Amino acid sequence: MQKRKLGNSSFEVSALGLGCMGMNFSYKPFPEKQDSINLLRAAVVRGVTFFDTAEVYGPFTNEELVGEALEPYRGQVAIATKFGFDINADGSRGPKGLDSSPERIRMVAEASLKRLRVDAIDLFYQHRVDPNVPIEDVAGAVKELIQQGKVRHFGMSEAGAKTIRRAHAVQPVTALQSEYSLWWRKPEQEIIPTLEELGIGLVPYSPLGKGFLTGKMDASTTFDATDIRSSIPRFSPEARKANLALVDLLGGIAKARNATAAQIALAWLLAQKPWIVPIPGTTKLHRLEENIGAAAIELSAGDLAEIENAAAKIHVEGARYPENLEAMTGR
């Protein structure tokens, strides 16, 4: 697989990464642990070198899974993980909700190193901006970890442009992880121009719209009560019915290219900027291979114009998150 550098940094990874959250968090039913280990190792064999996890996924168990699966490939792959939530030692949520205090950051780094079975965390993201901790203090704490050799690169997730600038002035930000896809294009307004100016890479999560852009669901699809999509307005039956127009657009272009709707959605993202590295998640080998196939699809200027013109006429229905979660983004 082709490789890309995240922004102006020396951090080079496969053009497509693998989001590992769904292997044991948010999207039930979960596969057996060994099946997930096999999938992670299959991804490496197929050229994926960038893997995404977080302390809060589980909590803790996703990092442990990724650490065990990728230990044989230490030095050959890059693992990104995240800090920023108030989590007790037993995995229960603490009263603060968010906690990016320097003491907490240092504690999370030490614990994540052990769970991931690595000597240094390749990319350490602030999962969500903590309004109670100055971003300069957060960046400063990560800077110290980088100086100590425990972290290689600093990242942020769902941060606003002004916050990114303030953090970047203290410790250069290598990558921003935020939702970005054909059905969530808000980052184009302010975030992407800011990243381009500062030389920061973009790692889109949910690049397939939490599965919707694959074309494998419709208004009749049901979700387990523990599935995060069951609480998202954009996944209400009415919204899904309205939003199928976007899937139809992708499907039409995919048919002409002998590809799938998911591959076109990912190829579109890859075509936006050379420093964008999407991290689609999956628990199935055939989906992994399908996603990887997107890296070989080069959309022409005509293809991109066709998508742009058609997408401009489609209004995506429903908020992307419930209000309490949306309030944590864009700070």
Q: Return the active site residues.
A: 57
Picking from 223, 330, 213, the residue whose alpha carbon sits closest to that of residue 266 is 213
Q: For residue 293, what is the enclosing H or E element? A: helix 285-293
3-class secondary structure, 185: coil
Alpha-carbon gap, residue 235 to 221, rounded angstroms: 9
Q: What is the DSSP letter of 184?
A: B
Q: What is the DSSP letter of 92?
A: P
Omega before 29 within 30 of 0, i.e. cis:
yes
Alpha-carbon gap, residue 263 to 251, rounded angstroms: 10
Picking from 299, 103, 112, 287, the residue whose alpha carbon sits closest to that of residue 213 is 287
Picking from 4, 9, 41, 45, the residue whose alpha carbon sits closest to that of residue 23 is 41
Sort 311 into a burial class: Cβ within 10 Å, 0-12 / 13-18 / 19+. Answer: middle
Site of tokens 């996944």? 235
Q: What tokens were used for 226? A: 């523990």
Give Cβ neighbours of residue 148 (< 8 Å, ≥ 6 apart): none
Q: Which long-range contacts (CB under 8 A, 24 or more apart) does 145-148 make?
A: 145/105, 145/106, 145/109, 145/121, 146/171
Q: Compute φ and ψ for 275, nearest 5 degrees.
A: -110, 20
Beta-carbon-side half-sphere exposure of residue 110 (alpha carbons within 13 Å): 6
